[in-house]
Each structure stands twice: as C-alpha cells, then as structure tokens.
Structure 1
C-alpha cells in the first residue's frame, strides 16, 4: 500500500481519480488547489503525486517544479494531467492529456509506484539490532550520570541538595525516554487509537503556550492566533503531546519562538518557529526517523509528533532557512 496525493480543483474529477487510486489498494490525500497540494506533500511525503495543471493559487506545472526542487520530495514521481498542455512537462514523470481512459490512468499509477524510490524499512534481525542499539545509547548517558551521583553520595555519606537535584534531573530524563520509547513502539506497531472530539484548536494551542511560558520564562514567546474559534475534530490528549514536543523543541534554544495558527475551509496549520541554528538538508531529511544512530531523545519526540499528526489525517513538516531558524508546521484537514 502506498500514499498517493491527488490534486484537482474540480470536485467531481477529484473524487473519480481518488476512487480509482483507492480501488487499486492505496491511501489517498486530496488537495483542491496547488498550494494545498504543496502543503500536504511536504507534511505527508506521498509516494506519488497526481495533479491537474489548471488549478487556483498554484498551477500543476508550478507544483511539479516546486516538488522537483525540494530536497526531500525531489524524487517523488508526478503524473501531470492537462487539457491545455499538449505534451506535458519535463518535470513530470508522466503526462495524460484530458480526456483520457481510466485504464490508461490505472496503468500509469501501477508503473509509477513500482518505480518510485522507497526508503529501506527496518526488518527482521536488523530492526531488533537497531532498536537495541538505540535504546542502549539513549539510556547510557543519563543512567551513567545518575549512578555516578549515587555512588558519590554513598562514599561521602552526604546528600547535598545540588547532588540530589542533578540526580533527579537525570532520572527524569530516563523516565521521559522510557515514555517516548513505549509510545514510539506503539505507533510503529500501529496500535494507537485516537479519541477525537470537535473542539476549538485555538484554545488548545493557547493553553499549551501559556504552560510553556511558565516553564521557560526566559524565552520570548510570540503568537499569531485568530480571535475566533477554529473548530476541528482532534484528540486533545494526543494533540497536547504534539504541541508540547514542538514548543519544548523550539524553546530549548532560547531567544524568540513564534507560534501561529492559520485556517482555511479545508486545512488548519499550526506553525512553530524557533530562532535556533540552521538545519542542514541532511538533518531535515532524517529529522523524523526513529531509532537512528545519534538520534536518541529529541528526534524520537519529533517522530512521535509526526506520527500523531499523520493519525489525525495530516502531517508534520519542517523548513529551515539560513539565518532564519527552523519552522515546524502541523497541517490538519478540516473535513
């Protein structure tokens, strides 16, 4: 099963194309214009993009060019559909001139997905080995520090406040790692079930922001949130996990953190922008990969936030520009 993004501004055509993809056994993301397709592609990283050319806000051809220029999405195949372009575009993997036969469309879907590049999954003994290595490295540092403090207190026969505070901090780190590891394992096993309700996401974001203002008072917290409600169907507990991860991650650098909430009739986007160091293209590509060497701690939390966003039907993406910090965007559908 693959994830296919289908973009078309005609609702009837969008439904027909999506149904064809679903009948072939794949999951579908729907976009009603080029900009929405771009946001969803960056958030969900589909295996294939199918796009019409004549769309509002961003044409299919411009969408192809953006995708081709992206470090992460540059190799994703694109099927371009058009009634006005006679020969398609070199940026597209394949082109279909409207109107076309559904059988031709099905054939292109199969061919494109068969040839699409895929990341190598962790399987069998290699997965167990990688997981064990990640756990060992993730727990080694704080556990070693905690044991050292305990031994020193035993030898000296003292229990100074500073020592106990340091020991407590290390043990809290271990506790958080244990929680993250358990939750990541559940997500990887697809055993997490959401409990969504219809609520105001804006109020939820404000509450989490107020909490982190108290936890990290040295950070200059900025917000751009709409005055009115932004009603959405989501799991409050899981969305709190997502927001806490992003706010903690952004606030660790100090300086200014900007939180913005944007909504359209079809999408809601929460952006958290930090003022920390730039991320390399390689770091961005690996940011949400769990259990990678050297990725213990923060990367696992981002993986969890990304997977929880995906379970809500949306996704988590990142953009880092030189001298401008890093922006994390949670994109959620309103439908």
Structure 2
C-alpha cells in the first residue's frame, strides 16, 4: 500500500480520481489547489503525486517544478493531467491528456508506483536498537556514581565551585546524549509507537520556550486561542526542544511562529546564526554522522518524530543569514 496525493480543483474529478486510486488499494490525500498540494506533500511525503495542470494559486506545472527541486520530494514521481498541454512537461514523470480512459489512468498509477523510490530503514536496524539499549544501560551506573561524587564534593565545600559546575554540565550533556542515542536507535529500528492525545500545541510550545532562557531572546507569534491537534506530548516536546536548542546555540534573537489552517499546523523556528552550507543541508537529518557542524542526534530525532505524527520537517538556510526549520503537521 502506498500514499498518493491527488490534486484537482474540480471536486467531481477529484473524487473520481481518488476513488480509482483507493480501488487499487492505496491511501489517498486530496488537495483542491496547487498550494494546498505543495503543503500536503511536504507534510505527508507521498509515494506518488497526481495533479491537474490548471489550478488556482499554483498550477500543476509549477507544483511539479517545486517538487522536483525539493531535497526530500525530488524523486517522488508525478503524473500530470492536462487538457491544454498537448505533450505534458519534462518535470513530470508521466502525462495524461484529458479526457482519458480510466484504464489508462490505472495502468499509469501501477507503473509509477512500481518505479517509485522506497525509503528503507537503516541496515541492521534491530542490531542498532539492541546497541542503543546496551549503551543506555552501560552509561547508567557510571553517570549515577559520578553524580553522587559531585554532590559529595559540593556538600564538603573543598573543591572549586566553578569546576564543579563545569563537571555537572558535562554530566548533563552525557545524560542527554545517552537518551538521544537510545531514542535514535529505536527510531532507526522503526519500533517507536506514539501515544497521541488531543491537546493544545500552542500551550506545549509556550512551555517549551519558558525553559530556554531569557524571554527577550524568544519571539513567539501564535494564535491567541488554542491550536488543538492530536499528538504525543512527550515526543512532540522532544522534537520542539531539538529545534529550539539548535536555534538557541547561535545566540541572538530566535523567532518562533505557530500557524494554523483547517488542514495544517506549521511551527517555524528562525535563527539569525551563520547559516548552513548546501552540503551540510543535505545531511542535516542523518543519524550517526561524523563530521560537519552536526548538532548531535537531535535533528534526526525531531525529523523522525515529526514523520511519525504524519508530518514533515524541512529546513531553509542561507550562509550568513540564519536558518529556518518548518515543522508541518496535518490536522485530522
């Protein structure tokens, strides 16, 4: 079973095309214009996109071009439908001229999905999961003993206070790394399950910001009312903390935006840091990568937890002008 995004501004045509795809045994998400299709594609990462050409806000051809230029969606096949383009467009994987036979449409769906790239879990995922648990348990004893010694030295008052604070901070970092490694290992093995509830994402975001230092650094733009969504509060908080932590490490002001529409909720985190190179952008969400300006496993964890919520995490950056992360989550 695959996920197919179908976009058409004519409701009757949209329903017919969607029904054909469902009859073939696949899940369907619908868009009624090109802009909605673009946002849904970023949020849901479909295996195939079927789009009409003549649509408001963003044409099918423009949608093809945006999808092909996207780092994540660039290899997703696109079937372009049109009554005005006689030969289609090179940006599309395949083309059907309207009107067409349903049997031709079905055959093209089968062919496109057969050729579509598949995202594979990391090789040896079960071994990675076992290693994560083993490392986590191995760290517990030494970290606990080190904590006990730090508290003893602090109580005796015989050691430099600054040195103890530094040692305490390093132990905090090690404990955080242990948790991240365990979480990343389970995510890589595809064994993480969510416990979603309907809650106010805006309230969770405000609580997260309160723990990240002086309020004047963090500029939040959000609706005054509740932004209700189904999500796992603990896992969503981890994803938000990873984005806020990455932005906050550069210093300076960080702008956080929460936007809500009837179909999507978007969280944007914008920093004014040095930005990320194109080469680093290509690997930013990869786990267990050595080298580059990696921020640990946090961004990989945030990306995977967003995916588990049915959404997507994207990043835009310009050297010297900062970085913007966009977490897009579907409603319903």
Class of the TM-score when normalised by the shorter of the 2 chains: 0.7 to 0.9
Q: Give the corresponding residue for 1:73.
A: 73
Confirm or deny: 8 A CA contact 1:287 1:299 kept in the other structure: no
Q: Could you tell me which of 245, 251, 258 is aligned with 1:261? A: 258
Q: Is the 8 A contact 2:43 2:310 kept in 1?
A: no
Distance 1:247 1:91, change over 3 A: same
2:38 maps to what in 1?
Answer: 38
1:298 aligns with 2:299: no
Contact 2:5 2:50 in 1 (8 A): yes
Partners in 2 of 1:26 and 1:159 — Cα distance? 65
TM-score, scaled to structure 1 = 0.80
1:5 aligned onto 2:5? yes
TM-score, length-normalised on structure 2?
Answer: 0.81
Q: How many residue pairs are counted as aligned between the two chains?
A: 318
| 2:301 is the counterpart of 1:321 | no
Counterparts of 1:43-54 in structure 2 under 5 Å? Answer: 43-54=43-54
CA distance in 2, matches of 1:26, 1:280: 38
Give the drift of 1:310.
1.5
Q: 1:278 aligns with which of 269, 275, 278?
A: 275
Instruction: Give 1:198 shift.
Output: 2.2
Give me the CA root mean square deviation.
3.5
Shift of residue 172, structure 1, vs aligned partner: 1.6
CA, structure 1 residues 12+268, in 2 after alignment: closer, same or farther (shift >3 Å)? farther
* Residue 220 (structure 1) aligned with residue 221 (structure 2): no
| Contact preservation (8 Å) 2:315, 2:326 | yes
Q: How big is the shift at 1:174? A: 1.6
| Unpaired segments ≥5 residues, structure 1 | none
Unaligned stretches of 5+ residues in structure 2: none
Residue 55 (structure 1) aligned with residue 55 (structure 2): yes
Deviation, structure 1 residue 87? 2.2
> For the residues of structure 1 that align with 2:121 and 2:196, how far apart are their CA atoms?
30
With over 3 angstroms needed to count, the CA separation of the structure-2 counterparts of 1:218 and 1:201, relative to structure 1, is closer
Query: Could you tell me how far apart the structure 2 residues matched to 1:36 and 1:328 are?
Result: 19
Instruction: Please give the alpha-carbon distance, in whole angstroms, between the structure 1 residues aligned to 2:162 and 2:18.
Output: 60
- Paired with 2:281 and 2:127, the residues of 1 have a C-alpha distance of 25
Say which is worse superposed, 251-260 or 231-240, in terms of deviation: 231-240
Q: CA deviation at 1:325?
A: 1.1
The corresponding residue for 1:191 is 191
Q: How far off its partner does 1:314 sit? A: 1.3
Residues 289, 299 of structure 1: 8 Å contact kept:
no
1:300-319, Cα deviation, whole Å (9 max, x unpaired): 21121112212222111111
Moved more, 179-188 or 26-35: 26-35
Distance 1:199 1:322 in 2: 37
